Amino acid sequence: MQNRALKGEQKIWSLTMLTWGMLYYLLGYLSLTIDDPGNRVAFIWLPAGVAVSAFLISPRRSWTLLFIAFFITHLLLDLTFHHQLTVSLVLASISLVNDLAIAWCVRYFSSHHDELHKVVTWIISTIIISALAAMLGVLWLRFYNGAPLIKGIWIWWSANVSGTLFTTPALVGLIGYNEPRRGWLAYLLSVVVLVVTFLIFVRTPDNVENIALTYSLACVPLVLVTIAAVLCGNRPGSVAFILFSMVVMGASWYETGPFYIARLNTEQSIILAQSYLSGAALLIVFIRALKRMQPGAVETATREIAYSLNPDSGQIVWNPHTDYPLRTELACIRTRDELLACIPDDGQKSQLQARWQTVVARNDVTDTFRFTLQLNDQTLLNMIETRTLLVTANDATAIIGFWVESRPGLYKSAPKGKQ
């Protein structure tokens, strides 16, 4: 039964990998269709956000496969546009190492911090690492085909930063857990966002129109997207933002909308549109972070549970005072062997036992440990043991472990079980 469940989850993960690859290709195709210069330094690069999202959401053990999948997809994309393979191999490597490094920094430097700290870490990592990648990539292009150095670095950096900042929150918001979406209001706001954005961006103002009024109108869809994110939650908010972004990107393609006024050239208008979308995405990310930090919010509701393991008898007792939703199911696990039987991955079983042995040797473990737990109804959950301690009282010892369910978000893995 467990093998059948694991095979099913492996198929789901394979489909997930394929989906990430297709999304990377489609957004790459869109980016190069909008701007595919001869020197290979484009003004827009949306796949950066796709790769960062995939690395952030997925467990680290799948990062190697994701990197390979994205690398092959990147080469296929370059072959589609008849780019030179020698240049593509190097650029694909630099681009994907950049995306992987951003995800690693967020995971490493944001551990045990609040959501606002994690958002700031993500932004700073994106800015700094993208600058390093831009210098490496443009230096290679300058050596190979004489690409302009300073201008090339600036364009590469801005394209990668904007692609990461405005694509990542939308994708992660779609996958993440979501509070109640308020039914009809979620659908209504999404439709209103689409219609209003279309009406504002379908036309191009001329020189006689007031610039302040033009840009003020461009803020109206942004206000509606913000309302959707606040009232309806992550997933409807992301849907509204994606619809909003599609219209703005379409306007960029057809050279219409407030950012294609006669006073700006095409390149300036594209940069302005990217900055507009990036600012909108950052606003939504900070709203999500602040909502999660509110006391009593759904996203920050108590989802932690502690267990006490007697290292001699192997008996397990769960904290009876927690409001963790799965405490009834976990209460059925009463011994060490029963707990290990609920972990399908042999490697993870060994890791958990090693943690217990380390604690028994009177060395508390504060490193997080991610594992898959299979309940009696075959449900697979991604869990995290945040810390493991040894408690001694009245000549009796107990191993205390603290679990929390891995909640998908900008910095956490989605619960896809065995991946």
pLDDT of res. 320: 74
Nearest to 295 by CA among 111, 120, 114: 114
CA 230 to CA 181: how far, in whole Å? Answer: 10
DSSP assignment of 38-64 = TTS--S--THHHHHHHHHHHS-GGGHH
pLDDT of res. 356: 93
Q: How many helical (H) and strand (E) elements, i.e. helices and strands, does the chain have?
A: 13, 5
pLDDT of res. 347: 86
Task: Give the pLDDT confidence of 120-133 residue by residue, as tens digits.
Answer: 999 999 999 999 99
* Residues facing residue 335 across a β-bridge: 315
CA 201 to CA 332: how far, in whole Å? Answer: 58
- Amino acid identity, position 75: L
Of all helices (H) and strands (E), which one includes residue 133? helix 115-145
pLDDT of res. 409: 46
Q: Is the dihedral of CA 26, 99, 55, 228 positive or negative?
A: negative
Nearest to 136 by CA among 171, 102, 167, 91: 91
CA 301 to CA 305: how far, in whole Å? Answer: 12
CA 235 to CA 239: how far, in whole Å? Answer: 6
pLDDT of res. 196: 93
Tell me if the pTM is above 0.85.
Answer: no
Rg from Cα positions in the chain: 24
pLDDT of res. 383: 84
DSSP assignment of 211-272 = HHHHHHHHHHHHHHHHHHHHHH-HHHHHHHHHHHHHHHHHHHHHT-SGGG-TTS-HHHHHHH
Domains and CATH numbers, the chain: 1-175 (1.10.1760), 179-301 (no CATH), 303-405 (3.30.450.20)
**Cβ atoms within 10 Å of 143's Cβ, excluding its own:** 10
Encoded tokens for 290: 């602040």
Contact of 270 with 157, CB cutoff 8 Å? no
The DSSP symbol for 395 reads T
pLDDT of res. 407: 55
10 Å CB burial of residue 367 (0-12, 13-18, 19+) is exposed
pLDDT less than 50: residues of the chain: 1-2, 5, 180, 296-302, 408-419
